Chains A and B, each alone.
Chain A
Amino acid sequence: MTEVHLTIPLPPEQIQLLHAGDIVYLTGRVFTARDKAHQLLLSLPDSKLPKELQSLPLYHCGPLVKKTDKHWTVISAGPTTSQRFESNEADVMARMHVSVIIGKGGMGPKTADALRTTPGVFLAYTGGAGVLAADQITRVVDVLWLKELGMADAVWVFEVKEFGPLVVGMDAYGSSLYAHL
């Protein structure tokens, strides 16, 4: 089990060094997207796509946050089930220049192909460990479409520090720890 501590953004050559089964800790910015955000990111015209999200890791997460005096506190923010995004993740990855997906439970063949061509990786955060993930989020940088989509489905930009342990569940070479499923 190789363990690496990486800073976002991850250049392609760094992604190509990662193999299924490796442990990764990430530091930098990530953005969240669940069901509604995936649809929105695919329906917006190019000119309306938020530039600040481009090339950041996409985190499958519907966080629990609380606002106190104009200040957001992340209470619990673990991963949501990634398979729900299998049908359109490859398109979102291409549109938003995403090469790192963070989620849980693994994804299907369409995403596996996109990870091979990008190159990209699927990193698994331990599901249910939301309170631990929240403590590795050091700052809420921004929130998009909060009113339209609601707390869980809005797009949150988080600053994370030593976010993990993340397991490389699927790598850029087509290897997957979920192959036994």
Chain B
Amino acid sequence: MTTQNITKGIIELIRTAETTLPRDVITALKDARHNETGIAKRQLDTILSAIDLGKKTRRPVCQDTGTQTFFIEAGCDSPFLGSIHECIHTAVRHAIDDVPLRPNAVNPLTRKNETDQTQSLLTYWTMIDGDTITIHALPKGSGSENMSRLRMLEPWEGFDGIIDEVLEAVFAAGGRPCPPILVGVGIGGDAITALRLGKESLLRPVGTRHPDPRVATLENDLITKLNDTGIGPMGLGGKTTVLDVHVKTASCHPASLPVGIIIQCWAHRHATMTLSADGTWEVR
């Protein structure tokens, strides 16, 4: 019974992520509209209308309902540690019909659709203290994900090297990832970690800066430089190319400087579910 209720919660989590956009993203889009004119403004008007319609009709804003991606902070003392994995799979299976979601899982080599569409769902686990499990759903479309990249820089390349890499990635992406985009930059760790940090950084609210002032300055520099490219909404030109840039760092080997760049479309769909030890849940 409890696991059924948890599964219900996760379906609600997926539906919320797919059909509504977080308030901070909407605020950033409205600010952008205020700054733009002509075609760029028209793009943002259309975007904001689509967000309204998705929320009103509880339908996915974008037809690419993405790869179902979950970041899970699992409290070691939660009584649901043993069942949560299965609940996520069951929830996605139901959500395909319920929300609905587009069948997005294919075999990577034959390109045939998978019979079991839950096969492509992704879970990233972090064990934490306590008895609460927090699940962040971040369904991600391939238009933006295809533009992500990893570079293993020489350590001496430092800040300038990182800025060049991000600029190059965003410029190469152009209008493809549905700008205005969000950019998550993971710096440090190993190759895997850099990309994971980049994606995790997208969970931080839009408009907030990194607590380390040096990193915050890097974020601000990147925002200015990326908006100066003129790529603009949908690549049709304009002042707004990014809604935000988030950097997340980790210590790394002295001979390494991994940089993972994750590009996210304006439809930055994500939601969070908190599952308490008594089985109650909340989606926001």
Contacts and interface: CB of A to CB of B under 8 A. Distances in A.
Contact of B63 (A105, A130, A165): A130
Contacts of A128: 47, 50, 61-62, 141, 178, 265-267
Interface string B102-113: 111000000101
Interface in B106-162: 111, 113, 141, 143, 146
B237 A64 contact: no
Interface stretch (B52-60, B218-226, B273-281): B52-60
Contacts of B101: 64
A83 interface: yes
B38 interface: yes
Contact of B53 (A63, A127, A132): A132
Interface in A35-76: 36, 61-64, 66, 75-76
A131 B59 contact: yes
A140 interface: no
B260 interface: no
Interface stretch (B70-78, B83-91, B202-210, B227-235): B227-235
Contacts of A150: 103, 113
B132 to A, nearest CB: 33
A133 B231 CA distance: 23
Given A128-B267, A129-B46, A63 B237 contact: no
User: How many A residues are at the interface, by size bracket?
Assistant: 35 or more
A177 B176 contact: no
A135 B103 CA distance: 21
B60 A75 contact: yes
A115 interface: no
Name, among B60, B113, B143, the residue most crowded by chain A CB atoms within 10 Å (CB to CB).
B143
Contact of A81 (B42, B49, B146): B146
B63 A169 contact: no
Interface string A161-181: 000010101000000011011
B33 to A, nearest CB: 12
B42 A169 contact: no
B39 interface: yes
Interface string B11-50: 0000000000000000000000000001100110011011
B235 A181 contact: yes
Given A165-B42, A177-B237, A105 B113 contact: no
Interface in A112-137: 124, 126-135
B64 A62 contact: yes
A150 B64 CA distance: 14
Contacts of A104: 143, 175-176, 178, 234
B102 A64 contact: yes
Smallest CB-CB A-B distances: 7 pairs? A129-B50, A105-B175, A127-B178, A130-B63, A76-B63, A181-B174, A128-B267
